[in-house]
Amino acid sequence: MAVETQKAVQTQPLVSRRPWLSSKRVRNTVRSILTHAALIPAALIFMLPFLWMLSTSLKTDAQLYTYPPVWIPNPINWMNYPNTVTYITFFLYMRNTVIIAASATLGALISCSLVAYSLARIPWPGRHVLFIITVATLMLPFQVTLIPLFLVFKNLGWVGDFRPLIVPHFFGSGLYIFLLRQFFMTLPIELSEAARIDGASEFRIYWSIILPLAKAALATVAIFEFIARWRDYLGPLIYLNNQKLYVLSLGLYEYSSQYGREWGLLMAASVLITLPIILLFFFLQKIFVQGIALTGIKG
């Protein structure tokens, strides 16, 4: 039977309904062409805002309002870039943004990994309840805590500097605790038991065994948090009132005045702000996807 079939295929390849699809390789090529055909238009749409930013950042004021709009300005006006970093105190704002984003990320990493460790790896009564409470905070709209937190920081005299934007992140965040706990749960418990027999303290196990194994998950948390802080607008809007301490997202507002917007300069600044995180994401996206897959959103 098998021999017959094979023979039939060999002698009558045209019997197949779609002979050009018969070989697996051809089929794969067709499939990948179709995939690209779907991905490329979508990619163009997703690139549109950024490309338009780029294009506008290279235009002079006169070129801005031509209709229909042009993509590649002629002549290309590079001057928006050197001008934009002096129009607002760009590098000062960037320094502030980096300080806040880096400290908050560090805080989130330390606090969330410690809490997640205790929830996942140390048996103590009430930890399940605490875990549910932690997840429940994810459902809490930020508006509920917004006002009381503002008042707490005001009474502490912290409003106007970086502390309200950094310190809360040292107290953990539901989402990251959830992700890290899910990941820590997947590591074999024997690792901890062996270390305990050798007399290692809990902190030692956490620091020298669990953390090194959780690099991808930690990296994911770090990127999430860093990007979130880099882009944050509401926090700085509420807490910062001294212009010397402004961050980039607030600085972008200075290009608008009652006389209109400096579109070219604004877009040049936006490109400069976005570029570092694009690079960060491009090089780390693999860890990122793996990190989330490993942490197992799936429960």
Q: 108 or 267, CB closer to other proteins?
A: 267
Looking at the Cβ atoms of 38 and 79, the one nearer to other proteins is: 38
Give least dist CB 2 to other proteins, A. Answer: 17
Dihedral pair phi/psi, residue 115, rounded to 5°: -65, -45
Nearer to other proteins, 188 or 199 (CB): 188
- The beta strand positions in 134-225, using DSSP E, are none
Is residue 185 within 8 Å of 294, Cβ to Cβ?
A: no
Q: Considering beta carbons, is residue 57 or 103 the nearer one to other proteins?
A: 57
Give residues with Cβ within 8 angstroms of 221, minimum separation 6.
108, 109, 112, 113, 176, 179, 180, 291
Alpha-helix runs per DSSP H in 60-89: 61-64, 80-87
Residue 125 CB, shortest distance to other proteins, in Å, is: 18
- Distance separating alpha carbons of residues 288 and 280, to the nearest angstrom: 11
- Residues in a beta bridge with 260: 257
Query: Cβ–Cβ contacts within 10 Å for residue 185, how many?
Result: 14
Minimum CB separation from other proteins for residue 246, in Å? Answer: 12
CA angle in degrees (0–180, nearest 5) for 177-179-183: 110
We find the least distance from the C-beta atom of residue 95 to other proteins, in angstroms, to be 16
Q: Name which of 183 and 205 has its Cβ closer to other proteins.
A: 183
Residue 256 has phi, psi (to 5 degrees) of -100, 140
Residue reference for tokens 């009474």:
155
When the beta carbons of 174 and 245 are compared against other proteins, the nearer one is 174
Pairing between β-strand 256-257 and β-strand 260-261 as defined by DSSP bridges: antiparallel
User: One-letter amino acid identity for 105?
Assistant: T
* Residue 19 C-beta: closest distance to other proteins, Å: 19
Tokens of 125: 């009564």
User: Residue 252 CB, nearest distance to other proteins (Å)?
Assistant: 5
Provide, rounded to whole angstroms, the least separation between the CB of residue 103 and other proteins: 17
Say whether 108 sits in a helix, a strand or coil: helix
Whose Cβ is closer to other proteins: residue 192's or residue 270's? Answer: 270
